[in-house]
A and B are shown apart, each in its own frame.
Chain A
Amino acid sequence: MAQHQAQPLHFSGSGSEYFRLWIVNVCLSIATLGIYSAWAKVRRNQYFYRHTRLAGAGFDYHGDPKAILKGRLVAFALFAAYTAASSFAPTAAAFILILIVTLAPWLLVRSLRFRLHNTSYRGLRFAFRGRIGPAYLVFLLWPLLAGLSLGLLWPFAQQRMAAYTRNNSAYGGAEFRFSAGAGAYYGIYLMTLMLGVVLFAGLMVLTSVLGSNGWFAVEEGQLTAMSLLLAALGTYLGLLLFAYPYVTARLQNLVWGSTTLGGHRFVANLSAYQLLGLMLSNVVLVVLTLGLYKPFADIRLARYRIEHLQVLVEGSMDDFVAGLQAGASAAGDEMAEMFDFDIAL
């Protein structure tokens, strides 16, 4: 096994600087009835990408705003048609929904290709080479089955999606590989479930003890029912609040920990507690400031996510850099660019 050297990612963006970019973006987007929003997206992505630095070099974004505008118009048209139809013409709405669902995997592949092709690091582009056929399995069939199985297959579907997107991604001439199995995904959701059970049991004991000691008024013989109710309510609220950041943090750690690029590996070490605190304070501040805190919140979240990711470089940094070459099939990527459009995801 070769020596691995940890290279952390840094994020140098600042809230006050991004705020100006953001407010100008919002203002121009409103003034141009949304058309500028495509250019705004490019500016925003460039801001976040260029401030993300690894081993002394930044990332960059090269998306063509016109392609993004095209994608947004298509998405907007589909969505508007569906919303209009769903209130007044259910049959037409069902038809549009079927159309959207059938198109979705194709659109997803297109936008993945667009996004990766337009991301660069040290002058080399990323690429996505996933084929359309498997995308229908991954983005349509498995999620559909997951829904039909009442979510039991959802971790499996999620694993298929991550494997498909990562295994078909490349940076320069090197390809990403993904090794996590569905078991690890089930582990995360089972753990969440366990937390729920432990929380419920704890609350049950607590309310029973408090109730029998007369801490809250309860009728004779109603104590168990009352404790059940309170514990269920507490568990529901606790999971509602905690499950999302917990699953997000654990999934990101799992996905990066199972990804390799050639001989290089990745480590993410997000903490669910910190993520919860971050998200909660962000939401509260955004609401309190009538939305003006949003750019600061975006920066905080990006910084947390990026700075808790490391690349484990195989060998020395010089070897790492020297081993990174442009991919062979650049022509295929150019074809992709011509017909591509990005859809807001």
Chain B
Amino acid sequence: MRLAAVYYDGRNAKAHPVTLCLEGDKLLLQGKEIVRRDAISALEIQPPLGSTPRVVLFADGARCEVADNRGFAELFPGADSRVAVLENSWRWSGLALLLVLALAGAGYLWGLPYAAQRLAQRIPAELAASLDREVLADLDGKVFQTSRLSPDRRRGLEARVAELVLPDPAGRPGAIEFRFSAELGPNAFALPGGTVVVLDALVELAEDDQEIVAVLLHEMGHVAGRHALRQMLQASAVGLAMAWYIGDFSNMLAAAPALMLEARYSRDFERDADRFAAEALQANAIPPGRLADMLLKLETARQRGLDAKLGAGSDYLSSHPTSEERIQRLRSQ
């Protein structure tokens, strides 16, 4: 059989209409001005690519294109690469789609948190602590002012925390920092390196030290699980992937889905931190319900609109709508 083709000699741009046919293990190419015979083993027969013409490359830089894909496949039946078979079939590419969706889902649900957890464990404590110093230096003077609590009060609370029995010694905070913030209201945070920041308003809102200890134990649960570090790693991975994927000028749009994807992780972390706090509270003969009391107070403080910004930012304590569920779980313990 003869196949119509277009031949370019690689030295000139002129297109030569030619015909192709097989002569044993040789390819015979015939045109008005050209005849060439090449051993098939010396040719580079490119795999099919969608509806584009089939391409044969010659060792001397010449090329030949065949628009008739079906005819070409009959002439060279073995030249279909496996990848091209996958690409050309809706069934296989559909399977690939399902596989990708499943892998992406699994990666997001299990892979990323697992990778972040393993990575967080490998990050040396000094490095993480230096990160905390940077974060604090960044916030001091802008969002945070020096604490207005008396030094005695602060030392007293620090001593109270130091003598707590913990279910996991990894929850012992690197340092407790007291700060005043007009904007953030009653709140406490665990920083990536294990520093716990307590805001004056939280100390003032609490009825007694047990409630403060309950909140601090919740934060120490975050420290034990290195939640802030993991959150940071996950957020950067998701943000990076989004920015890379959508690309172009839409980086700002990529931030929104990244934030949405983040919310779920923090919910899991809250649950872990609550569990840690409940265990520790029981170990220290404080009813876990005291944490629930405090959560309720924070919730009312928020709803009263004392602080509009409380729900935003890196607040791990009361930023989630699941507060009610958390309170119930703590009370039942």
Binding site for B on A (CB under 8 A): 12-14, 17-21, 23-24, 26-28, 30-31, 39, 43, 46-47, 50-51, 56-58, 60, 87-89, 120-124, 172, 240, 244-245, 279, 283, 286-287, 291-292, 294, 321-322, 324-326
Contact = CB atoms under 8 A, between A and B. Distances in A.
B116 to A, nearest CB: 13
Nearest to B44: A62
B313 interface: no
A69 B234 CA distance: 27
Contacts of A124: 8, 10, 12-13
Contacts of B6: 57
B87 A24 contact: yes
B93 A24 contact: yes
Contacts of A287: 246, 253, 257
B249 interface: yes
B15 interface: yes
Given A24-B86, A89-B127, A283-B250, 15 more contacts: A24-B83, A24-B87, A27-B97, A31-B99, A50-B55, A120-B63, A122-B14, A123-B13, A124-B8, A279-B249, A279-B250, A283-B253, A324-B12, A325-B11, A325-B12
Interface in B43-65: 49-53, 55, 61-63, 65
A326 B11 contact: yes
Interface in B217-232: none
B315 interface: no
Contacts of A291: 245-246
Contact of A21 (B55, B87, B97, B249): B87
A292 to B, nearest CB: 8
A241 B87 CA distance: 36
Nearest to B10: A123
B100 A26 contact: yes
Contact of A26 (B90, B96, B131, B246): B96
B163 interface: no
Nearest to B192: A87
Contacts of A325: 11-13
Contact of B15 (A46, A172, A321): A321
Contact of B130 (A58, A88, A240): A88
Contacts of A240: 252
Say what secondary structure dominates the interface of chain A: helix
Contacts of A39: 83
B93 A23 contact: yes
A122 B11 CA distance: 10
Contacts of A24: 83, 86-87, 92-93, 96
Given A20-B87, A50-B53, A27 B96 contact: yes
Given A20-B87, A23-B96, A244-B249, A321 B123 contact: no
A286 B96 CA distance: 19
A47 B49 contact: yes
A88 B126 CA distance: 9
B9 interface: yes
B248 interface: yes
Contacts of B145: none
Contacts of A19: 93
Given A24-B87, A27-B100, A88-B123, A56 B15 contact: yes
B136 to A, nearest CB: 16
- Which 8 A-B residue pairs are closest in the complex by CB-CB distance? A123-B8, A324-B13, A27-B96, A20-B93, A50-B52, A122-B13, A88-B127, A244-B249
Contacts of B314: none
Contacts of A87: 127, 131
A124 B13 CA distance: 7
Interface in B4-36: 6, 8-15
